[in-house]
Amino acid sequence: NKSALEVIDSALFVLVLDDFHPDSVHDAAANMLHGTHVMKEMKDFDSNANGGHGYASASMTMTNSAHALYTSNDVKASQSGLVREYQAGTCCNRWYDKLQIIVCSDGSAGINFEHSAIDGHTALRFASDVYAESVVQFAKSITKSIYTQGCPIPSMIDAKVVRVAVGNESGDTEMALDTNPKKLDFQLVEKLKDRIFHAESALGDAVNADDTFVLEFTEFGKTFIVANKMSPDSVVQMSIILAYHRLYGDTVCNYEPVLTKRYLHGRTEAMRSTTTQAVEMCKCFANRLASKEEKIKALRESTKNHSRLVKESSEGMGVDRHLYALKCIAEKKGMKIPEFFASDAWRVLNHTVLSTSNCGNPALRLFGFGPVVPDGFGVGYVIKDSRIQYSISSKHRQTKRFAHAVQQTLHEIGEMLGPLQSQSVGYHNVESKPVSKSQPAVEYADAWVDTYGDSINMEQLSIAGESKLATASSDPRVPSNTRLVGLTKLSRRVSLVRENSISVGTQIPDQK
């Protein structure tokens, strides 16, 4: 058993192959989070195996064909003609304290990781590199017949990769390493089998208690929010708080992690989104006599304050981690714990009903996690250019209804902000026209974690009578209220020149 466990403990990750086909995006999200719980009737059963315990050893392998462990009571039940069941769900096809790459039978894939070791953005970096490398390899396969002397498309991985299943560096056909799959056998005593069986039963309770629902909101996304001069992350946070207030008439503690990796050993700081401004916003939205202008003003004030607190948290000026560290140090040194840590304020602060997190990029469709308190919601979200995607989980709460409340709240915000107005940039031609909420072609100014700035629609740019299509790049950033008087193409990048500024090293072409 020791050698088998050492193989697993020393692995960088575990590849999980699920014989499971999700029927919906909700099933897929739940399977990636905790696996499925499926009890099946055992028809072929050997009551004499393992001294009266019918034990399917496949439960200790990384396949989910069968997961069964029987006690003597099960044997007696089978002999009496009662139904015998075994756990056939994918919840047993996991090694939960490892980084797991999960692949379902339909090809859908995801990553499950234990949070104490790494943060979401660490796993996101891993997923992004894997996804990007697959895109690069596909692009190289397309251009393979075109470029005979080296492909100009760079690889995502700088290190030289030698596939051990093909051969070693000397070109020998013999494998450098034996990559054939091998079964890990465990020697289990009866007492340990009973504990595994009881653990599986407890796991089944936890899986059945969880309810996961996916909301894929497609009316607008980052582009629309930034064009209205608000932070996308702040608007999403306010939508979650507003949805809870819409459903329950109350505001509760909300948690959002903010990265502090700019510092040595930095991980996250806790950002509390339920601020005084957020509470006033909820009251304003709930007031049937409040005008649209009053609601927009309250939304802007709450998002502006949220953006400020996010920035402060990213700079190490939060309070949660600091206070918690002081409490831990006092406990470790046997010091007297200050009365503050027994106060109602500290208790409410640490009872996070709305645990939220923003983690995603084009490589991910969904990101989610479970609630951190029994009466809470776990809300993971991914903000994209023209959509916002939520994965919401709870235990015995109305998850689907809460997701619909979030959807209604976002729809209301979109209706209040109305259609976008952006500038079409052309040679001697500056005009305004409506832009749909789902239009992704936009330049925006973004900050760390928080995204805030003006937008400008980069459509058809004409240079000296020659029509060219400009693609959105990350630099330069130009406010939407800037009048553009010239364009110049330097180093294969379109540069925009402002009328009321001096651009050093940039030439303004003749206005012909």
Catalytically annotated residues: 115
What phi and psi, each to the nearest 5 degrees, are found at residue 189? -85, 165
DSSP string, 272-309: E---HHHHHHHHHHH-TT--HHHHHHHHHHHHHHHHHH
Closest CA to 62 of 100, 30, 32, 113: 100
3 state SS of 268? strand
DSSP string, 404-462: HHHHHHHHHHHHHH-SEEEEEEETTEEEEEEE-TT----EEEE-SS-EEEEEE---EEE
Closest CA to 440 of 234, 233, 221, 219: 221
Residue type, 318: G
CA distances from 421 to 105, 300, 413, 417 (A): 46, 18, 17, 11
Closest CA to 253 of 399, 373, 92: 373
DSSP label of 323: H
Alpha-carbon gap, residue 274 to 238, rounded angstroms: 9
Alpha-carbon gap, residue 18 to 181, rounded angstroms: 16
3 state SS of 327? helix
CA distances from 122 to 116, 199, 310 (A): 12, 30, 19
State the SS3 of 161-230: CCCCCCCCCCCCCCCCCCCCCCCCCCCCCHHHHHHHHHHHHHHHHHHHHEEEEEEEECCCCHHHHHHCCC
DSSP label of 7: H
Contact between residue 46 and residue 92 where contact means Cβ atoms under 8 Å apart:
no
